[in-house]
Structure 1
Amino acid sequence: MSDALINGVAGAGGGIIAQLITYPLQTVNTRQQTNRDPKKTKRKLTTIEQMCKVVKHEGWDRLYGGLLPSLVGTAASQGVYYYFYQIFRDRAEAAARDRLKKGLGDGSVGMFSSLVVAACAGCVNVLLTNPIWVVVTRMQTYKKSSTSSKAHSNPSNNPEIAVIEPPPYATSHAVHEVYGEAGVLGFWKGVFPTLIMVSNPSIQFMLYETLLKKLRARRAKRNEGNIGVTALEVFLLGAVAKLGATVVTYPLLVVKSRLQVRQEIGEDKKHHYKGTHDAIIKMIRYEGFSGFYQGMSTKIVQSVLAAAVLFMVKEELVKGVRLLVRPDTLVKKVRKPP
């Protein structure tokens, strides 16, 4: 099994675990991002209050709306991302070693090269998995209508009259809805800001690799060449890296969610977006720049926790898979500092 495949499998496993832990926060955050009239509410609800509101009016299951396709998307995204990241990383490391032989550089992958590697892997990931996330966004933002529930209730309280409940909003409904609105291209809605959002994991991995490199270099001096890092240290490095990336790129994430959410027929034109540029202009005009930061505190908690868990679990899984498939080369294949 190649190193790239090992990292891909481990990334998929780590992503699934992180998603299961943080999914309710992700659902609430997506709703916060797609709230079109934040100024109408007298007081913004906290994350916990909004979670309680969803549970009270729509049930616990709505906090996990779209979980199945989200898990599929997470496994696919992280698997694809880490697979290609490792391939591009290996090539960058090989190029760095070649430059060292020619007397150029120190043989390590620099910060800019790390950024390019992460960006290339991210672009491949986005183009392959965007349709899954369009469906997930639809399912997360779907709300059980109170009028719908009344319409299906028994107004006469006659037990002999059958009450027909509306069918649950399933993955197939979201797929048909997206296709009905825009055809096949509808599954790539928001792909442009998502491609720009590649800068998020790129910045994240650049920060992570840089911090990891410095930690290992410092540890090598103190512990006579021992550059091993613990699971807790990986957790903390992943959290810090994701925090920095999220603060920088959050407005793009809001625009992407706005484009992927359902566009109601006959909806107020200020809430109907024709594309990325139109969404940005209308958000600035009707909501101000604060609209680009709706739900940011929730996103920071969710994404930082998810990234920290992902990094920690992924690194442990890489070690475990290597031990199973190549026990004799485990020591040699421990990832070297960039």
Structure 2
Amino acid sequence: MSDALINGLAGAGGGIIAQLITYPLQTVNTRQQTERDRKKAKYQLSTIEQMCQVVKHEGWDRLYGGLMPSLVGTAASQGVYYYFYQIFRNKAEAAAIELRNKGIGDGSVGMLSSLVVAALSGCVNVLLTNPIWVVVTRMQTHTKMSKKSQLGHSSSSSSDEALLAAVEPPPYGTTHAVQEVYDESGLLGFWKGVFPTLIMVSNPSIQFMLYETMLKKLKERRASSVKTNNGINALEIFFLGALAKLGATVVTYPLLVVKSRLQAKQHTGGDKRHHYKGTLDAILKMIRYEGLPGFYKGMGTKIVQSVLAAAVLFMVKEELVRGTRALLTRSAIKTAKSRPP
């Protein structure tokens, strides 16, 4: 099994686990990002309060709206990203060694090369998986009226039951979201928000640049230590991943808000302030009607969610890679011993 495939599968596994742990925070954050009512935004509930409101009025299941396509998207995204990241990383390392042989550099991959590798991997990932995330955003932002709010203040239980049967909408699933996107904009609708998302590859690029730099420095520090154990443990990987993601999220968050606005259901009728024709139109309308704070809606929730998810992902991924390599090594040794001399 190639190193790229090991990293790709490990990344997919780590991404799924991180997604399962942090998904309710993602749902709340997407709703915060796509909230366009300035009065509601001004008196916005805390993350915990908003989660409680969703549970109270829409049920627990709405915190996990779009979970299945999101898990598919996460597995695909992380798998594609780490697979191509390792391929591009191997090429960068080979180029660095070749330059060292020519007397240029020390043979290690520098910060700029790490940034380019992460950016190229991110672009491939975005172009292949954007349709999945459009569907996920639709399902996360779809609101379901509670039965109580549908019924109003009716006092008759029998009439309530009859009214419920008449007004309760069918479940909003993946096929509904796909059909909604297609009816709005055709096939191109599945690539809504792809432009800011392509720019957003700077997020994992910055994240991986910071992560690789901090990891390299920590390894060098351990190597120079008198202690015999120079390995990096899972907890240290967890904190390195968290710090790297925190730095990347703070820098790129406004682009994430614009992407969510474009991928959410468009208000084609009524208030034109809530209808975006494209990336530039969304940015200009947000500046005009919401001001700069509009680009940072839900940032606190996103920092908690993304930092936790990234930390879990890095920790699980590294452990899976380490475990897989150990298994393959033992298997190879066992096979070699079983062969006749």
Q: Residues 21 and 220 from structure 1, CA distance in 2 versus in 1: closer, same or farther, beyond 3 angstroms? A: same
Give the partner amino acid of 1:99: L
Is 1:109–2:109 an aligned residue pair? yes
Query: Residue 62 in 1 paired to residue 62 in 2?
Result: yes
- The letter of the residue matching 1:37 is D
SS in structure 2 at match of 1:145 = coil
Summarize the alignment of residues 83-102 of structure 1 with structure 2, pairs less than 5 Å apart: 83-102=83-102
What corresponds to 2:263 in structure 1?
Answer: 260
Whether the aligned pair in 2 keeps the contact of 1:152 and 1:166 (CA below 8 Å) is no
Distance 1:173 1:155 in 2: 33
- Corresponding residue of 2:79: 79
Conserved? CA contact 1:126–1:191, under 8 Å: yes
Q: CA deviation at 1:322?
A: 1.3
**Map of 1:336 onto structure 2:** none
Show the 5 A alignment for 1:97-246.
97-145=97-145, 150=150, 157-158=157-158, 161=162, 163-164=165-166, 165-223=168-226, 227-246=230-249
Give CA-to-partner distance per residue, 1:160-189, whole Å, 9 cap, x none.
958243211000000000011111110000
Work out whether residues 268 and 275 of structure 2, in 8 Å CA contact, stay in contact via their aligned partners in 1. Answer: no
Number of the residue aligned with 1:285: 288
1:334 is aligned to none
Partner of 2:312: 309
TM-score by length of 2: 0.92
Match in the other structure for 1:333: none
- CA drift of 1:151 comes to 6.9
Which of the numbers 307, 320, 324 marks the counterpart of 2:327?
324
> How has the CA–CA distance of structure 1 residues 56 and 148 changed in structure 2, closer, same or farther, with 3 Å as cutoff?
closer
The TM-score normalised by the length of structure 1 is 0.93
Comparing 37-46 with 264-273, greater Cα deviation is found at 37-46
- Structure 2 spans left out of the alignment, 5+ residues: 334-341
Tell me by how many angstroms 1:24 deviates. Answer: 0.3
Shift of residue 219 of structure 1?
Answer: 0.6
- When the two structures are aligned, how many residues end up with a matched partner? 330
Does the 8 A contact of 2:197 with 2:259 survive in 1? yes
C-alpha displacement of 1:211: 0.3
Amino acid at match of 2:233: T
Instruction: Sort the Cα spacing of 1:161 and 1:245 in 2 relative to 1 into closer, same or farther, 3 A.
Output: closer
1:326 aligned counterpart, secondary structure: helix
Instruction: Report the counterpart of residue 36 of structure 1 in structure 2.
Output: 36
Partners of 1:69 and 1:82 in 2: how far apart? 20
Decide whether the 8 Å contact of 2:51 with 2:63 is kept in 1.
yes
Task: Report the Cα offset of residue 312 of structure 1.
Answer: 0.2
CA distance in 2: counterparts of 1:234 and 1:131, whole angstroms? 31
1:276-315 superposed Cα distances (whole Å, 9 cap, x missing partner): 0000000000000000000000000000000000000000
Structure 1 unaligned runs (5+)? Answer: 331-338
After superposing the two structures, state which structure 1 stretch, 40-49 or 244-253, moved more. Answer: 40-49
Does the CA-based 8 Å contact 2:57-2:145 persist in structure 1?
no
Q: Which residue of structure 1 lines up, in the alignment, with residue 9 of structure 2?
A: 9
- Percent identity for Structure 1 against Structure 2: 76
Cα separation, 2, equivalents of 1:13 and 1:152:
45
Q: CA deviation at 1:226?
A: 5.2
For structure 1, which segment, 320-329 or 108-117, has the greater mean C-alpha deviation from structure 2 after superposition?
A: 320-329
How far does residue 202 in structure 1 lie from its aligned partner after superposition? 0.1
Query: CA, structure 1 residues 108+41, in 2 after alignment: closer, same or farther (shift >3 Å)?
Result: closer
Q: Tell me, what secondary structure is at the counterpart of 2:224?
A: helix
Distance 2:226 2:127 in 1: 44
CA RMSD between the two structures = 2.1
CA distance in 2, matches of 1:189, 1:223: 54
Please identify, of 259-268 and 186-195, the stretch whose mean Cα deviation from structure 2 is larger.
259-268
Q: Counterpart in 1 of 2:53?
A: 53
2:99 maps to a residue whose letter is: R
Q: 1:199 to 1:329 in 2, by over 3 A?
A: farther
Q: 1:271 Cα deviation (Å)?
A: 0.9
| Cα separation, 2, equivalents of 1:308 and 1:38 | 33
Amino acid at match of 1:130: N
